[in-house]
Amino acid sequence: MYKAITRSFLATFVRGGTSNGLIIKRSILSKDETKWQPILSSAMGSPDPSGRQLNGMGSGISSTSKICVISTSEREDADVEYTFIQVGIKVGDLDMAGNCGNMSSAVGPVAWDEGMIEKKEIEGGEATVRMYNTNTNKTVHSTFSIDDESGKYNPTGDYSIDGVPGHASRITMSFLDPAGAKTGKALPTGNPIDELRLQDGSSIKASLVDVANPGVFILASDVGIPGDVTPDALGADSATMERLEQIRRAGAAMMCLDPDVQSVPKIVLISKPKSGDKGVNIVCRALSMQQAHKAAPLTLASNLGAACRMPGTLPAMTAVNAEGRDSVVIAHASGKLEVGSVMEDGKIISALLHRTARVLMKGDVFYTLHTND
């Protein structure tokens, strides 16, 4: 007999950077991660063949179908650990192959307010939380504002990021030793540029770079796309989107990653800024989960910023006035983003970015389990 059982779990609904999603304590879920899928996908409103996620917390685009599962850490170099989950919209699969920099920005403040952090020194009204990301086995330091009276995270401030209206307090994210997050090397093939051979018999040049999250960087002009194409126009071009997926899959295979995993690597189209784009070093358009991204995935922006400092790569040859700079300004579909990187003797020590975050809601999230018993 068919049965539908409705249950709930406690969660925090947050905006982190230009994404939003749920943050859940690991203690609430089963220790067996294979049992998470029906619970978390239902909570987000997936699977949904219509792609709208009307029956859950998601809203039908990749940047709003996300979850972070957090816990205290026993590691000496971390205060908390977190696992990022990209929930498939139409199918409802859970993709845990890569990290999300935007959602990462909310992890520290939420863990702090939930009392998961041992008392830490507050300097200049700010606290720093050391976070270990289990997707990439990398450490991220998150520094954010603390309210003097309550001792809680203070989201108010005068900092703004493109793609999010209004102002908030700044969160500084430092991704330590970000190279080789999934492949073990910043340049997985050892080459600054590789030639990818596609299923249709054609080929294209790409830079395969793995910093914070692996990316496949190609020139927008090589696929006949204007560098400033809008996400809607790009997404509506089915022939180009199909070709871009072929390129992504070919890049994944060359990086020894699974082409069937949609979250990594992501593909990024790059181009030179136009003469009127003052202060911009490079322009990008990114795809995520076979959708044209409305802004730029933060880990991919970090990757692009580092790639601009790697001699011989397509980003380095495309970027304008970036030589000798510790940070680059990237123009994306919703505005601009500045990303920095610290390098010593050619090694990437850390990648630095700024975000904002806000708790939107806390409480019970309902999900439905279906059985045929």
Q: Which of 29, 22, 23 is nearest to 46 (CA)?
A: 22
The fold adopted by the segment(s) 3-170+357-371 is Diaminopimelate Epimerase; Chain A, domain 1 (3.10.310)
Instruction: Determine the Cα–Cα distance for residues 199 and 288; give it in Å rounded to an integer.
Output: 21
Instruction: Determine the Cα–Cα distance for residues 102 and 107; give it in Å rounded to an integer.
Output: 10
Q: What is the pLDDT of residue 1?
A: 64
Omega into 265 within 30° of 0, i.e. cis?
A: yes
pLDDT along the chain (373 residues), means of 10: 88 97 97 96 97 97 97 97 97 95 97 92 92 97 96 97 95 95 95 95 96 96 96 95 96 96 94 87 93 90 93 96 88 93 86 95 95 70
pLDDT 10s digits, 250-295: 999 999 999 999 889 999 999 999 887 888 999 999 998 889 999 8
* Cβ-contact 304, 345 below 8 angstroms: no
For the domain 194-341, what is the CATH code?
3.10.310.10
Q: Which of 276, 371, 368, 336 is nearest to 41 (CA)?
A: 368
* Cβ-contact 182, 97 below 8 angstroms: yes
Can you give the residue ranges of every domain in the chain? Answer: 3-170+357-371, 194-341
CA-CA distances (angstroms) from residue 91 to 26, 39, 53?
A: 23, 14, 11
Look at the block and give the residue holding tokens 């219509």: 50
SS3 194: strand
Look at the block and give the residue holding tokens 């925090």: 12
